[in-house]
Structure 1
Amino acid sequence: MVIAATTKVSLGGALKPVTALLIGTALLYLGYGLQTTLVPLRAEAEGFSQITIGLLGAAYYGGFVVGCLFAPYVIMRAGHIRAFAAMVSCVSAAALVFPLAVGEVQWLVFRFLVGACISIVLVIVESWLNEKSSAETRGAVMSTYIIITYGAITVGQLGVTTQPLDGFALFSLCSILLSVAAVPVALTRATQPAPIPSVQFRPGHLWHLAPAAFVGAFASGLMIGSVLSLSAVFAVGSGFTTGEAAVLASAVVLGGALGQYPFGRTSDYLDRRLVLLVSAGASVTLAIFLMAASAMSFTMVVSLGFAFGFVTLPSYSLAAAHAYDWTEPHDLVEVSAGMNLLFGAGSTVGPVMASVAMIVMGPSGLFLVAAIAAGGLGVFIGLRILVRRRPADAIRTDFDLYATAALGAVVPGEIEELVVSSDDSDDDDVAAEPATVDTAPAEADMKLETEKAD
């Protein structure tokens, strides 16, 4: 349970120490959003096979997972500012190399490197924001960061409509945005944070801690990774123009951004797994409708895409929040990293599965995969609700938009205090009880201090 802040700080005052970093982040995600939509559309125009286009999405998320593992070492070696400039420069260079070295293998390598660099940038930005925020300002700072991130990606994806798809101009625009993103960070006078620690990933521990969160992270990555990677290709294959494809991709991201808070706050009052079950069920329904997009008007498809993003993208946030409810404070960083890696693994598998389905069934195969993943998640969550009660209210943490968002879970915010209750000691997953910390060392120290006092 997060301690209530006793000092009121204005939003402007909270953001002042990190203004340069937030400006750089906004520019970075404008370029990232443009590249996310541009690469698959250009790959299709270049005649790449459907499976290769899917692998481009998988390569990005594979690089993202690797970047999460190596980020602490990069930051330790170069520091936050130089590491940020270096990684952004690599992504900017990659944007220019795509049109210069057109080829399936080359583009797979480039996307992998972009994913790794973006992941490291995420760790840099989020650890920096986390350290420069106090307990009173962290919520405002991190929520602003998430809003800027989703907003910039949405606008960046629409950049595809500004220039012809064939040619160098869109890749140049992408490189310009990414290059300029390094300027405010490189020129800031703010002191950089201390290096972040590396953590281990124990999938068995995470599975035993919260099976619903484990499956939820992987399944949400499978759905979100496949749709974000291939929604533009899906739209073109369904008979829409390149500009309309960009609008659909942006609508999905915008819907997901707006859906985060209402789903998250609702889960504060109900069993989070029940809210996740509703999210999964709604995702199945909307995915089935979207499978018939070629027979619908563009307005209807965009509306359905927005609704799909609204109910589907919060699924990771709900799974992460459920995991944190069962997590001891000293395990928070490890669990957060594990959830993020599971999401990345699902996002790596999803585009490959979806591309195969699109080869077999046509564009509708994308949302068939999403429907199957959401349906499987819903069934598993329903079974978990039957066999295990939700955690007691005393140990549940309030929904944190930053710590649970897929784009903000690399470095979690601190939990100031966790009140442990043993009311649910009869739960079936005894080992996952948050009250199982060994207190013997602390009790021994207390006894020793008492003896000294006597």
Structure 2
Amino acid sequence: MPRSIMAFSSLYFATFLMLVGSGLLGTYLGLRLAAEGVNEIWIGLLMTGYYIGLVAGASVGHRLIAKVGHIRAFVASAGVVTASVLGHAMTADVQIWFVLRIVVGVAMMCQYMVLESWLNEQAEPHQRGMVFASYMSVTFLGLAMGQGILTVMPELDLSHLLIVSMCFSLCLVPVAVTNRIHPAPLHPAPMKVRVFLSRIPLALTTVAVSGLLLGSFYGMAPVFATGVGLATSEIGVFMAVTIGAGLVAQWPAGWLSDRLDRSRMIQINAIILTGVVLIIALVPLPPFGLLVMSSMFGVLAFTLYPIAVALANDHIDPDDRVALSAMLLVTFGLGASFGPLLGSILMKLLGPNMLYVFMALCTLVLVMRVRPERVTGENLSLDAPIHFLPSGGNLVTSSLSAAMDPRVDEQQVEEQMRDDVAPGAGADLDEDQDDHRPG
């Protein structure tokens, strides 16, 4: 195993435990509420609350990490998540659950910020691509494993909440005992909303649509699967296969993104994805056929965001890339917040299949709006292309901590962001590979 991976094994293990718990919790809550006949709109609201918490947690994380440091911030946040998860076992009131989902989102964002700022600062420039590719692989693996628990334990009882609580309690251990040096003090980077809206509108549109798709998938796909007759164990497989396909797709998508026109890739992705989600929505599929089509959905939907991030960075000067990360976070978070809510309203009115009809409407926006001829290249950065980095579609990106952590020194981060062009997934890891075409 590469030394760059072993060096951060404690942080990777903490991330894995967090994502196992998070993946299991989101699917369990959706299935539990659907089994109890709770209104689909309320289920969508709960999932929206989680993403609202993630976005709001960036501001809370600023202050908390600056005040008490990385390890204490991580410990406090994990404790809050554990208590919030157990709170779901104490009451069945969906209004209280909504508040708890927001709290979980806020606390988990603080945890993400601690882990990623730690990795971002202490990874050597020549290691950073491998370090964050490994980090995102662990993220996907944890999410998929969380779904797999439902396959082994299909009964929807409180034991699932206890497992989630155990995961968040145990994730404290590797962070608390690590001998890694704490990250240095950092400063936040302000967003430049007007600049980004004028320079990268197509990338921002793609990021927003990606948020709508992935937010609605994580939040409402288990409810859809219940509505089409899948058992709980089958739903675990359904979710795990989709997420696993998204993980596998990161490498070939990254390889293509670093060599082809990225706007064209987004357009083709959106066209195929529209067809896939319409087939899922309108064609009665057997369980195996549904798994095949859902895996295709995972391949396409989970690669939209990182391709859009790479496209955006191609057209932004290096000095603005830290601020860009914050802008992309907010844009994705807004999309992910509205996705479950809008999808759940259509499902309530017209049936579970409307979730994927809603997704088709979202992808049609990309088909009509993202056109290669609209990318003039006037704002192309001198050091483009920026290499593709893998993404889990859960507001966790390799540059998130640098953008949102208050302890980032701006000059240092700008140097690190220039170094961060090392390929993250699917691209060659040699630093001297600079012959790729701009996207």
TM-score by length of 1: 0.85
Q: Does 1:52 align with 2:55?
A: no
Maintained 8 Å contact 2:154/2:232: no
1:389 aligns with 2:376: yes
What is aligned with 2:98?
A: 108
Structure 1 residues without counterparts, runs of 5 or longer: 1-10, 419-454
Q: How does 1:233-382 map to 2 (within 5 A)?
A: 233-292=223-282, 295-382=284-371
Tell me which residue corresponds to 1:169: 159
Residue 403 to residue 195, structure 1, CA distance change in 2 (3 Å): farther
Taking every aligned residue pair, what percent have the same amino acid on both sides? 28
Contact 2:303 2:391 survives alignment (8 Å) = no
- The aligned runs of 1:111-126 (5 Å cut-off) are 111-126=101-116
**Are the aligned partners of 2:250 and 2:390 in contact in 1 as well (CA < 8 Å)?**
no
Take 1:228 and 1:259, find their aligned partners in 2: how far apart are those partners?
18
Question: Separation in 1 of the partners of 2:37 and 2:381?
Answer: 55
Aligned to 2:388: 400
Contact 1:261 1:401 in 2 (8 A): no
1:380 Cα shift? Answer: 0.6
Aligned counterparts of 2:262 and 2:184: Cα–Cα separation in 1 = 35
Which residue in the other structure is 1:432 paired with? none
Gaps spanning 5+ residues in structure 2: where? Answer: 403-415, 422-439
**1:104 corresponds to which letter in structure 2?**
V
Read off the aligned partner of 2:289 and give its amino acid letter.
Answer: M
Measured on the aligned residues, the alpha-carbon RMSD in Å equals: 1.9
Q: Secondary structure at the match of 2:19?
A: helix
Report the Cα distance in structure 2 between the residues aligned to 1:280 and 1:49, rounded to whole angstroms. 31
- With over 3 angstroms needed to count, the CA separation of the structure-2 counterparts of 1:69 and 1:182, relative to structure 1, is same
Larger deviation: 342-351 or 196-205?
A: 196-205
Deviations 1:283-333 (A, max 9, x none): 10100011036x211111011111101011111111111111112122111
CA distance in 2, matches of 1:330, 1:259: 30
| 1:39 alignment counterpart | 29
The CA distance in 2 between the partners of 1:94 and 1:16, in whole Å, is: 32
- Helix, strand or coil for the counterpart of 2:186? coil
1:211 maps to 201
1:70-123 per-residue CA deviation (whole Å, 9 max, x = no partner) reads: 222111011111111111121122221112111110010011111111111111
Match for 1:231 among 218, 221, 234? 221
Question: Does residue 415 of the first structure (1) align with residue 418 of the second (2)?
Answer: yes
The one-character-per-residue Cα deviations of 1:106-149 (angstroms, maximum 9, x if unpaired) are 01001111111111111111110011101111111111100011
CA shift for structure 1 position 358: 0.4
1:200 deviates by 2.3
The CA deviation at 1:257 is 1.4
Letter of the 1:387 counterpart? R
Structure 1 residues 417 and 43 mapped into 2: Cα distance closer, same or farther (>3 Å)? closer
Mark the CA change 1:417 to 1:111 in structure 2 (over 3 Å): closer, same or farther. Answer: closer
Aligned partners of 2:193 and 2:327 also within 8 Å: yes
Q: Deviations over 1:182-208 (max 9, x none)?
A: 111111122211233223233322111
What is the aligned residue count?
405
CA offset digits 1:2-51 (Å, max 9, x no partner): xxxxxxxxx53213332211111111111111112111111222332110
Give, as a single letter, the amino acid of the residue that structure 1 aligns with 2:383: I
- Closer, same or farther in 2 for the Cα pair 1:263/1:210, shift >3 Å? same
Aligned-partner residue type, residue 336 of structure 1: S
CA distance in 1, matches of 2:391, 2:137: 13
For 1:349, give the aligned amino acid: F
- The one-letter code matched in structure 2 to 1:241 is A
Determine if contact 1:333/1:411 at 8 Å carries over to the other structure: no
The 3-state SS of whatever aligns with 1:72 is helix
Confirm whether residue 15 of structure 1 aligns to residue 18 of structure 2. Answer: no
Equivalent in 154, 162, 165 of residue 144 of structure 2: 154
Rg comparison, structure with higher value: 1
- Tell me: CA distance 1:169–1:404, structure 2 relative to 1, closer, same or farther (3 Å): closer
| Cα shift at 1:389 | 2.5
> How many angstroms apart in 1 are the aligned matches of 2:201 and 2:41?
31
Within 1, Cα distance between the matches of 2:267 and 2:121? 35
Distance 1:45 1:116, change over 3 A: same
SS in structure 1 of the partner of residue 370 of structure 2:
helix
